[in-house]
Amino acid sequence: MQIEKVGVVGCGLMGAGIAEICAKSGYETVVREVNDELLTKGLDRIGRSLDKAVCKGKLEENKKEEALGKLTGTTNLEDLADCDLVVEAIIESLEHKCELYAALDGIVKKSGVFASNTSSLTITEMAMATKRTERFLGLHFFNPVPIMKLVEVVRTIMTDDQVFEETKEFIRSLGKEPVSCQDNSGFIVNRLLVPYLLDAIRGLEEGIGTVEDIDKAMQLGCGYPMGPLTLLDFVGLDTTYYIANIMFEEYREKRFAPPPLLKQMVLAGRLGRKSGRGFYDYSNS
C-alpha cells in the first residue's frame, strides 16, 4: 500500500486539522466540503493554523507554502477518485456516514483505503456500507489535531493485517503516535474520558464546586492541561452529547448517560467555544 494522495471528507474542526497535517507531511491532499461557503471556512481555518505554527516557530515559512501547494479544496466527491487513503471527518451520524461511504465506494479506486475519524460509532457498521470491508478502519485524531500526538487506529474483525500495519506507519509519517484499538464504542480514550467529563457536569449539578473551582482542582491537583469543563467547551457540548448518547446506547451503563444539564445546554445553544458560550463566556474572545 503506497500512500501518495490522501482525501479528507469534511473540513470542520477535525477534517481541517487532518488535511493540514497530511499536506504538511508532503502528501497530496484533497479536502472536500459540501458547499463553497463551508469549504472556504475550512481552508481559512487551515491557513490560520499554518500561520500560527509559523508564529510559534514550529514551521518555516517556505514549508507553509509547500503545504499549501499540496492542498486542494473541492465540493466534488469525484475529485477523490484516485486517493490511496480517504479519511472521513463528517458529522457523527451513522446514517450520513453510511450514505457517504456507499457513494465513495463507487467513486474511489478499488485499492483505496477508507478510514473514519468517528469517536464513538462502530467502524464495522460503516465498513458494511462498502464492498471494501478489509480495507476499512478507524483513524481517531484528537483536537487540536496539529498539536495532539495520539491517533487511535481501530481495526474491525474484517480489517486486513497488512492494511492495519501500513496505516500505522502512515500515522507515524505524520509525526503522530498510533495506538491499536478494537472496534469498541469510544475505543480507549473516550471510554475513559467521557465518563470523567460527564461526572464533572454531574458534580456541578450536585454543587461540589463552582465551574472555576472544578476546573482549577483538576488542572492544579492532577496536572491536566485543562479542567474538565474547559475541555468540554473546547470539544463542544453538542459533540460530547452525541458521543455520550452513542456510548450509552451501546453499553447501557449509567456512567455514559448524558446528565440533564448537558442536554439543557445543548438545547439552549450553549455549545462551548464555537457558539461563544458554554460553561464559560467566549463572546469577547
The residue among 131, 127, 136, 72 whose CA lies nearest residue 107 is 131
CA distance 138 to 129: 14
Query: How many other C-beta atoms are found inside a 10 Å radius of the C-beta of residue 237?
Result: 30
The C-alpha cell of 246 is what?
452513542
Query: Using CB under 6 A, which of the segments 84-92, 144-152, 166-174, 275-283 binds ligand CAA?
Result: 144-152
The rounded radius of gyration (Å) of the Cα atoms in the chain is 19
Kindly provide the b/e burial profile for residues 136-158, where b requires at least 16 CB atoms within 10 angstroms of the residue's own CB: bbbbbbbbebbeeeebbbbbbeb
Instruction: Decide if 96 is catalytic.
Output: no
Residue least distant from ligand CAA (Cβ): 119
What is the contact mask toward ligand CAA in residues 103 to 122, using x (rule: CB under 6 A)?
----------------x---
Binding residue (CB under 6 A) for ligand CAA from 34, 36, 58, 182: 58
The verdict on 207 binding ligand CAA (CB under 6 A) reads no
Instruction: Decide if 140 is catalytic.
Output: yes
Cβ-contact 215, 229 below 8 angstroms: yes
Which of 119, 120, 185, 275 is labelled catalytic?
A: 119
The verdict on 143 binding ligand CAA (CB under 6 A) reads yes
What is the contact mask toward ligand CAA in residues 239 to 278, using x (rule: CB under 6 A)?
----------------------------------------
Cα 46 to chain centroid distance, Å, stands at 15
The verdict on 77 binding ligand CAA (CB under 6 A) reads no
Residue type for 110, please? K
Query: Using CB under 6 A, which of the segments 105-113, 143-151, 166-174, 255-263 binds ligand CAA?
Result: 143-151
The residue among 257, 262, 254 whose CA lies nearest residue 238 is 262
CB of 59 to ligand CAA, least distance (A): 7
Query: How many residues touch ligand CAA (CB under 6 A)?
Result: 17
CB of 134 to ligand CAA, least distance (A): 25
The verdict on 172 binding ligand CAA (CB under 6 A) reads no
Instruction: Decide if 152 is catalytic.
Output: yes
Task: Work out whether the CA dihedral 110, 116, 122, 123 comes out positive or negative.
Answer: positive
Query: How many other C-beta atoms are found inside a 10 Å radius of the C-beta of residue 210?
Result: 11
Instruction: Decide if 66 is catalytic.
Output: no
Q: Which positions lie near ligand CAA, rule CB under 6 A? A: 49, 52-53, 56, 58, 119, 142-144, 146-148, 190, 225-226, 231, 235
Instruction: Report, as residue numbers or ranges, the catalytic residues.
Output: 119, 140, 152, 190
